[in-house]
């Protein structure tokens, strides 16, 4: 499995993904699940993926290929699309087409292939937007009321987001929130694993403002995780029923 | 859905269940999911249920009927079984038989019926034990290493249990832990709802030592929930990355 979370805040987008991929419990690998398509200052698109690796990799490769084609236009290339809505539409269409092909190939085996994606970004002069794209290619969007979107193993890390994230949350607090949400998920579910990829896209920057890979044993992450555990245990002692 | 959690601690068992039952989103009801079979001082058995209501109700009714039959014996009646292992075996067998019947009846509709149960208790002179019974009737048991068992919507409420529950946890702290675990689940998942049923079975009491129904708006539960939210937000502010 996977855990990816994206926040759409007044100050910008905050994205976090893990990197664990497994085909059964005895075949575990590390694969990046966060991808950027960027023309700094003009356009930035971030994609996070969850689901069958063959499906997500092929979808990302096809999106890249479509950008590089000489006949690339706003209907086919996410780097030429005129709005983020059009970007989401192209990605949804590519994901759905690739999924159908793989499902068709697997039909004899009665196997399924499925994937979902979180897509965020901004085009100069346009709105900053964040979408969750379903395996079928349709999508939903983060709003004022629901400023975060999750894919993969989303349940363990949802309570902390439900409690602390609003559109007014600062980018610093938002990074802490997604890391704590991931920390709960890592502790409770083996199929989600380090390293982590964290990215911040500040509003109107139209570029990846900040990105960071957090490795296993990262001192700052370990300190935060330990401090959070200690704080939770302290809180637990203080609360009465 | 449902959320039920049981802890097996050195001092006794702590059990908590919600009461929400739904057939679709527009047909929501309240049903007790915690059942006791008790001969105080001699034997206490608690059962919590998750899954198809027709299946869990019929299973509980059949267990009750088997107790009352004139020919009831230790192979058929959970009130006569000589060990808690035998109790779990009878319950597993009854659950599996009932499930197979219902699945068979539903075959034309391509519908599934499934349920799982948490069973805890003690017989005078025997060990206090806690089992999770699968729909197929087989079961696992809580141990020193894994002192809690969950059924239903278990993911939201697992991180807090992972952090604070050990076999040495006191019964008072354990009640707080299961209530906070439920609180996170209630906040994040609509299919789990108040009122709650909480029970404590102290070791060697061989009776329900304490039970309590916590209604919507219960002042103590609301105060605990608010204090926990405030403590989490405080902790969130204090932790740095």
- pLDDT for A127-162, tens place per residue? 999 999 999 999 999 999 999 999 999 999 999 999
Longest dimension (CA), chain B: 67
Contacts 24+ apart (CB under 8 A), B85-92: B85/B129, B87/B45, B87/B119, B87/B121, B88/B119, B88/B129, B88/B131, B88/B133, B88/B139, B90/B63, B90/B66, B91/B47, B91/B59, B91/B63, B91/B117, B91/B119, B91/B133, B92/B133, B92/B134, B92/B136, B92/B137, B92/B138, B92/B139
Confidence of residue A192 (pLDDT cuts 50, 70, 90): very high
Give yes or no for residue B17 having a pLDDT over 80: yes
- Decide: B47 and B56 in contact? Cβ < 8 Å: no
Question: Which domain CATH number covers A17?
Answer: 3.60.20.10
Closest CA in chain A for residue B229:
A163
- Decide: B16 and B28 in contact? Cβ < 8 Å: no
> Which residue range forms the structural domain that includes residue A14?
3-216
Q: Range with the lowest mean pLDDT among A82-96, B95-109, B203-217? A: B95-109
Give yes or no for residue A111 having a pLDDT over 80: no
Residues of B in contact with A177 (CB under 8 A): 236
Q: Which pLDDT score is estimated for A221?
A: 96
Give the position of tokens 């699968």.
B134
**How many domains does chain A contain in total?**
1
Q: Which pLDDT score is estimated for B99?
A: 96
Closest CA in chain B for residue A221:
B241
Confidence of residue B5 (pLDDT cuts 50, 70, 90): very high
Instruction: Give the gap in angstroms from C-alpha A17 to the nearest C-alpha of chain B.
Output: 17
Is the CB of residue B226 less than 8 Å away from at least one CB of chain A?
Answer: no
Q: Which pLDDT score is estimated for A100?
A: 95
Residues of B in contact with A231 (CB under 8 A): 234-235, 238-239
Confidence of residue A179 (pLDDT cuts 50, 70, 90): very high
Residues B188-212 pLDDT 10s: 888 899 999 999 999 999 999 999 9
Residues A49-91 pLDDT 10s: 999 999 999 999 999 999 999 999 999 999 999 999 999 999 9
Say how far apart CA A209 and CA B192 lie, in whole Å: 40
Using alpha carbons, select from B25, B27, B50, B30 the residue that is nearest to residue B190: B25
Q: Which pLDDT score is estimated for B19?
A: 96
Give yes or no for residue B67 having a pLDDT over 90: yes
Using alpha carbons, select from A147, A116, A141 the residue that is nearest to residue A14: A147
Give yes or no for residue A23 having a pLDDT over 90: no
Q: Provide mean pLDDT across the span B208-232.
A: 95
Give the position of tokens 């035998």.
B86
Tell if the CB–CB gap between B155 and A159 is shorter than 8 Å. no
Joined tokens for residue A65 = 């290929």
Q: Which pLDDT score is estimated for A107?
A: 83
Residue of B131 and A112 predicted with greater confidence: B131
Nearest to B188 among A162, A187, A229 (CB): A162
What is the phi/psi pair of residue B176, to 5°? -65, -45
Confidence of residue B240 (pLDDT cuts 50, 70, 90): confident
CB pairs under 8 A between A and B: 101
Report which DSSP code applies to A112.
Answer: -
Q: Which pLDDT score is estimated for A110?
A: 75
Is the CB of residue A241 less than 8 Å away from at least one CB of chain B?
Answer: yes
Residue of A109 and B63 predicted with greater confidence: B63
Say how far apart CA A156 and CA B148 lie, in whole Å: 16
Confidence of residue B27 (pLDDT cuts 50, 70, 90): confident
Q: Provide mean pLDDT across the span B128-144.
A: 97
Residue A223 resides in a domain = no
Q: Which pLDDT score is estimated for A22?
A: 85
Q: Which pLDDT score is estimated for B211?
A: 97
Give yes or no for residue B110 having a pLDDT over 80: no
Residues A96-110 pLDDT 10s: 999 999 999 988 887
Give yes or no for residue B156 having a pLDDT over 90: yes
Strands, E assignment, A63-147:
115-123, 129-133, 139-141
Residue A100 resides in a domain = yes
Tell if the CB–CB gap between A176 and B228 is shorter than 8 Å. no
Residue of A106 and B165 predicted with greater confidence: B165
Q: Provide mean pLDDT across the span B41-46.
A: 98
Give yes or no for residue B108 having a pLDDT over 90: no
Residue A233 resides in a domain = no
Residue of A104 and B109 predicted with greater confidence: A104
What is the percentage of chain A residues whose pLDDT exceeds 90? 88
Give yes or no for residue B52 having a pLDDT over 80: yes
């Amino acid at each position: 499995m996977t855990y990816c979370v994206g926040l759409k805040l007044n100050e910008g987008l905050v994205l976090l993904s893990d990197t664990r991929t497994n085909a059964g419990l005895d075949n575990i690998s590390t694969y990046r699940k966060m991808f950027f398509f960027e023309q700094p200052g003009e356009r930035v698109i971030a994609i996070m993926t969850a689901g069958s690796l063959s499906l997500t990799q092929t979808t990302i490769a096809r999106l890249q290929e479509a950008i590089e084609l000489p006949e690339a236009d706003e209907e086919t290339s996410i780097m030429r699309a005129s709005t983020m809505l059009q970007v989401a539409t192209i990605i949804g269409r590519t994901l759905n087409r690739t999924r159908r092909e793989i499902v068709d190939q697997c039909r004899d085996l009665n196997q399924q292939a499925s994937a979902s994606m979180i897509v965020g970004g901004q085009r100069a002069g346009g709105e900053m937007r964040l979408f969750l794209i379903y395996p079928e290619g349709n999508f939903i969007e983060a709003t004022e009321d629901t400023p975060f979107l999750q894919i993969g193993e989303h349940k363990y890390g949802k309570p902390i987001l439900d409690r602390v994230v609003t559109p007014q949350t600062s980018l610093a607090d938002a990074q802490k929130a997604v890391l704590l949400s991931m920390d709960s998920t890592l502790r409770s579910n083996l199929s989600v694993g380090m390293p982590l990829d964290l990215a911040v896209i500040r509003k109107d920057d139209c570029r990846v403002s900040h990105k960071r890979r957090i490795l296993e044993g990262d001192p700052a992450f370990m300190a935060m995780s330990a401090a959070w555990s200690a704080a939770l245990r302290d809180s637990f002692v203080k609360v009465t029923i």
